[in-house]
């Protein structure tokens, strides 16, 4: 039983951090489809940073720097140049995927992967079987709760939500939606860096091209499934990774009888179903979001 | 007309901005930016041979981009062209396998039609979910891309696997030479004719039919269209189907033409590039024809770079992505002081 739980936490933690980043952006009124790009950039920067300097802290710092810069770029393009957030987000994703590929090739020649010398600190033997998990896994519930408090119990959180739901109202009481969105996106950048670092350094201590495999988009779907709520988004992300772990488990149990590639498709299918359900429950988040934009003009 | 010229100029300006950003990325990643751009131009445009290769890549991209254009004009972000393209290739392969031995005059049209049906079906379910229940089509079509990719891996390593195949890349049996509509060069009269026919038909569809007019109105103001008595649901679903069928057509052409067999994970950036082409062209059909050539050139360069110039092909992905980042931008950031001196701004549409 505990091995399944460990597998779920391992694959779920990066997804949850990135989903929280998407949730922050969603709250501030930005549809964040650049999550995939920020996640791979974070994973790549963390692995390269550790490999080059030998220090995990330096790797993490590099990942945070890269992701915050990427988020700022997205903010500039969406808010200042008034680009379409969906297309610009997909562009940021492409930039992350291509940039990571380019960086790895320029530093390590034609190799498609980077092996980092060290990983994130582990929890240690005091936690028994769970000791193999990284500290970021243990920090994850704390981060979820802190974000919940921040968004639901502080003035800042309410203002952020106002910027997403009714920017005109926010502006009329002296809150600049544009600035709040910058803060939300930069905070999301930090979370994406943590998610990417956990993905690359949590277990494998390895970065390979395209290792995110659509997890950033799944995280975005988790935000929609979770209704833009911190705990809801985290639970939705956890649900997707439970499905993924179940697929891997089924593969081990059934072996050759179950086609491997179709089991790999399970999390993507779960994502589609999740978005479908949330659309039915709430009549679609998109309608609300576009209404907000209309009012903003 | 003046507005059109301005919008073309603005698109070009943002492409230049995007290329400048790429230059910075190349330098940061440790490559020489001038050398990179020079090699890309060599691979894409500066010799007749390179131009021929650009044309080879431009034609399927043009067809897929025409499909993307139809759904975007209608106001639906169908970003699943990649998956629909794969399903088109799968549909064509299934038809070729089923009819193996029949005369080419029968097999080729059936395979192409089957590819178009495959693509249309892969666009139909996100379209249906969107129109029936408001399920966000960006997510469903993106997930559809991953699902189609996995389906392709499954089919090429299972049911459609080439029994004599070895090596790491899984692939289906090669299409018999009689059924091929082009050699691996990829430029043949059949493909050129299919591309031109698509271009003309989509132009007519968009500019000269009730569907085209209504769907572009629906893209701008769906509420008005409903009040005018048009059926938004059938309009939207048709847009999804046409868009998927065209991506499927491109997939079938790739399969019967230059590719010649189903290979897992082939042309991974095709759908995304087609979305870009449609956007850079400002969702105009004539624009798509011109812009495809540019992106076809980039696609040709992405094969040229690693082989001839010894530079990574990912450079092309970065250029595409940077263009995507900027292409929908609507304003240059002007200092507030400058804005105040301009005449009063018109209210936003």
Cβ neighbours for B159, distance < 8 A, ≥ 6 positions apart? none
DSSP type of residue A294: H
Is residue A123 situated within a structural domain? no
- How far does CA B319 lie from the centroid of its chain? 16
- Pairwise CA distance, residues A221 & A140, whole Å: 19
Residues near A164 by Cβ (< 8 Å), separated by ≥ 6? A26, A27, A28, A29, A30, A228, A289, A292
Residue B90 resides in a domain: yes
Query: Cβ–Cβ of A271/B129 closer than 8 Å?
Result: no
Contact: B29, A224; criterion CB under 8 Å: no
- Cβ-based contacts of B127 with chain A (< 8 Å): none
For residue B97, give how far its alpha carbon lies from the nearest alpha carbon of chain A (Å). 22
B347 in a domain, yes or no? Answer: no
Within 8 A of B316 by CB-CB distance, chain A residues are 98
- How far is it, in rounded angstroms, from Cα A205 to Cα A51? 10
Residue B337 has a pLDDT of 41
CA-based nearest distance A147→chain B, Å? 25
Tokens 């985290």 belong to residue: A234
The predicted structure's pLDDT at residue A37: 93
What is the average pLDDT score of chain A? Answer: 83
Query: What is the average per-residue pLDDT within A57-74?
Result: 92
Tokens describing residue A78: 């969406």
Is pLDDT above 60 for A142? yes
For the four alpha carbons of B139, B141, B147 and B153, in that order, the dihedral sign comes to negative
Distance CA B244, CA B79 (A): 10
- Check whether A140 has a pLDDT greater than 70: yes
Whether residue A47 has pLDDT greater than 50:
yes
| Per-residue confidence (pLDDT) for residue A289, from 0 to 100 | 42
pLDDT of residue B25: 81
Domain count, chain B: 1
Q: Chain B residues with CB inside 8 Å of A94's CB?
A: 272, 317-318, 320-321, 324
Rg (chain A; Cα; Å): 19
Contact B61, B224 (CB under 8 A): no
- How close, in Å, is residue B192 to chain A by CA atoms? 30
Across the range A159-175, mean pLDDT stands at 83
The secondary element (H helix, E strand) that includes residue A168 is helix A167-172
Estimate to the nearest angstrom the gap between the alpha carbon of B87 and the chain centroid: 14
Domain that holds residue B54: 2-329
User: HEC profile for chain B?
Assistant: CHHHHHHHHHHHHHHHHHHHHHHHHHHHCCCCHHHHHHHHHHHHCCCHHHHHHHHHHHHHHHHHHHHHHHHHHCCCCCCCHHHHHHHHHHHHHHHHHHCCCCCHHHHHHHHHHHHHHHHHHHHHHHHHHHHHHCCCHHHHHHHHHHHHHHHHHHHHHCCCECCCCCCCCCEECCCCHHHCCCCCCCCCHHHHHHHHHHHHHHHHHHHHCHHHHHHHHHHHCHHHHHHCCCCHHHHHHHHHHHHHHHHHHHHHHHHHHHHCCCECCCCCCHHHHHHHHHHHCCCCHHHHHHHHHHHHHHHHHHHHHHHHHCCCCHHHHHHHHHHHHHHCCCCCCCCHHHHHHCCCCCCCC
Cα(A185)–Cα(A178) distance, integer angstroms: 11
pLDDT tens figures, A180-217: 889 999 999 999 999 999 988 887 788 888 888 888 88
Question: What is this model's ipTM?
Answer: 0.83
Q: Which residues of chain B does A297 touch, with a Cβ-Cβ cutoff of 8 Å?
A: 347-348
* List of chain A residues whose C-beta atoms are within 8 Å of the C-beta of residue B135: 272, 275-276, 279-280, 284
Q: What is the pLDDT of residue A258?
A: 66
pLDDT at B345: 38
Please work out, in degrees rounded to the nearest 5, the angle formed at the alpha carbon of residue B49 by the alpha carbons of B322 and B279.
Answer: 30
* Domain presence at residue A124: no
B343 domain residue, yes or no: no
Answer whether residue A288 shows pLDDT above 70.
no
Flag residues of chain B having pLDDT under 70.
Answer: 1-4, 165-169, 331-349
C-beta pairs of B106-114 under 8 Å, 24+ apart in sequence: B107/B179, B108/B179, B108/B181, B108/B256, B111/B179, B111/B252, B111/B255, B111/B256, B112/B194, B112/B249, B112/B252, B112/B253, B112/B256, B114/B252
- Does the pLDDT at position A119 exceed 90? no
Q: Which CATH number covers residue A50?
A: 1.10.3470
Q: Which residues of B touch A286 (CB under 8 A)?
A: 134, 136
What is the pLDDT at residue B197?
94
**Which residue among B139, B146, B317 places its CB closest to the CB of A275?**
B139
For residue A38, the model assigns a pLDDT of: 94
Contact B330 A91 (CB under 8 A): no
pLDDT score of A256: 67
Q: Is the pLDDT of residue A173 over 60?
A: yes
pLDDT at B166: 62
pLDDT tens for each residue of A246-267: 887 787 777 666 677 778 888 8
CA distance B77 to chain A (A): 9
Tokens at B282, concatenated: 């400002």
Roughly what angle, to the nearest 10 degrees, separates helices A135-153 and A155-165? 80
The secondary structure element, H or E, covering residue A115 is: strand A113-115
SS3 state of residue A123:
coil
CATH of the domain at B13: 1.10.3470
Question: Do the Cβ atoms of B60 and B258 come closer than 8 Å?
Answer: no
CA distances, A16 to each of A122, A154, B34, B300, B331 (Å): 19, 22, 41, 39, 35
Total domains, chain A: 1
Which pair of structure tokens corresponds to residue A55? 């220090």
Q: Do B321 and A80 touch (CB under 8 A)?
A: no
The answer to whether residue A106 is domain-embedded is yes
Containing structural domain, residue A267: 2-117+129-296
The partner residue sitting opposite B325, judged by closest CB among A91, A262, A283, is A91
Using pLDDT thresholds of 50, 70 and 90, give the confidence band for residue A293.
very low
- Rounded Cα distance, B289 and B223, in Å: 32
CB–CB contact A87 B327 (8 Å)? yes
- Tell me, yes or no, whether B334 lies in a domain: no
Residue of chain A nearest B32, judged by CA positions? A106
């Amino acid at each position: 039983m505990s091995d399944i739980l460990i597998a779920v936490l391992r694959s779920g933690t990066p997804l949850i951090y990135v989903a929280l980043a998407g949730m922050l952006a969603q709250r501030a009124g930005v549809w964040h489809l650049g999550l995939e790009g920020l996640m791979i950039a974070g994973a790549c920067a963390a692995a390269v940073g550790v490999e080059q300097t030998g220090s995990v802290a330096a790797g993490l710092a590099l990942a945070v720097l890269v992701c915050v810069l990427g988020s700022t770029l997205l903010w500039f393009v969406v808010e200042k140049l008034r680009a379409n957030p969906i297309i610009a987000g997909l562009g940021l994703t492409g930039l992350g995927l291509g940039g990571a590929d380019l960086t790895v090739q320029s530093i390590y020649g034609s190799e498609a992967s980077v092996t980092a010398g060290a990983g994130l600190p582990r929890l240690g033997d005091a936690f028994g079987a769970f000791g193999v998990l990284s500290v970021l896994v243990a920090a994850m519930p704390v981060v979820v709760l802190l974000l919940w408090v921040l968004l639901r119990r502080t003035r800042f959180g309410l203002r952020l939500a106002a910027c997403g739901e009714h920017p005109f109202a926010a502006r009329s009481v002296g809150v600049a939606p544009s600035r709040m969105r910058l803060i939300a996106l930069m905070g999301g950048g930090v979370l994406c860096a943590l998610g990417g670092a956990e993905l690359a350094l949590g277990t494998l201590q390895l970065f390979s091209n395209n290792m995110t495999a659509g997890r950033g988009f799944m995280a975005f779907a988790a935000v929609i499934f979770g209704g833009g709520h911190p705990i809801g988004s985290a639970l939705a992300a956890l649900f997707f990774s439970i499905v993924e772990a179940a697929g891997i488990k089924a593969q081990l149990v059934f072996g050759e009888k179950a086609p491997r590639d179709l089991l790999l498709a399970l999390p993507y299918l779960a994502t589609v179903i999740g978005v479908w359900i949330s659309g039915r429950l709430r009549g679609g988040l998109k309608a609300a979001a576009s209404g907000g934009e209309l009012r903003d003009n | 007309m003046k507005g059109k010229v301005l919008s073309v100029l603005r698109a070009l300006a943002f492409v230049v901005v995007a290329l400048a950003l790429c230059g910075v990325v190349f330098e940061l990643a440790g490559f020489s930016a001038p050398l990179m751009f020079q090699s890309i131009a060599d691979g894409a445009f500066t010799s007749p041979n390179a131009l021929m290769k650009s044309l080879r890549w431009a034609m399927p991209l043009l067809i897929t981009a025409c499909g993307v254009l139809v759904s975007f004009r209608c106001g639906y972000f169908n970003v699943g062209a990649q998956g629909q393209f794969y399903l088109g290739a799968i549909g064509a392969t299934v038809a070729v396998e089923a009819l193996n031995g029949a005369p080419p005059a029968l097999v080729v049209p059936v395979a192409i039609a089957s590819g178009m049906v495959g693509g249309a079906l892969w666009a139909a379910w996100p379209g249906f979910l969107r129109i029936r229940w408001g399920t966000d089509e960006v997510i469903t079509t993106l997930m559809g891309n991953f699902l189609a990719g996995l389906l392709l891996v499954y089919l090429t390593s299972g049911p459609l696997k080439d029994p004599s195949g070895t090596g790491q890349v899984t692939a289906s049996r090669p299409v018999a030479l009689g059924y091929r509509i082009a050699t691996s060069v990829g430029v043949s009269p059949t493909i050129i004719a299919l591309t031109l026919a698509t271009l003309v038909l989509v132009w007519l569809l968009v500019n000269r039919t009730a569907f085209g007019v209504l769907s572009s109105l629906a893209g701008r103001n769906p509420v008005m269209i409903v009040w005018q008595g048009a059926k938004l649901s059938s309009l939207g679903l048709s847009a999804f189907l046409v868009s998927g069928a065209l991506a499927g057509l491109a997939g079938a052409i790739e399969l019967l033409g230059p590719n010649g067999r189903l290979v897992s994970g082939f042309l991974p950036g095709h759908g995304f590039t087609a979305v870009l082409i449609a956007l850079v062209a400002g969702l105009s059909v004539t624009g798509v024809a011109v812009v495809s050539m540019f992106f076809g050139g980039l696609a040709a360069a992405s094969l040229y770079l690693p082989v001839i110039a010894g530079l990574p092909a990912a450079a092309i992905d970065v250029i595409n992505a940077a263009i995507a980042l900027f292409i929908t931008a609507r304003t240059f950031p002007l200092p507030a002081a400058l804005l105040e001196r301009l005449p009063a701004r018109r209210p936003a549409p």
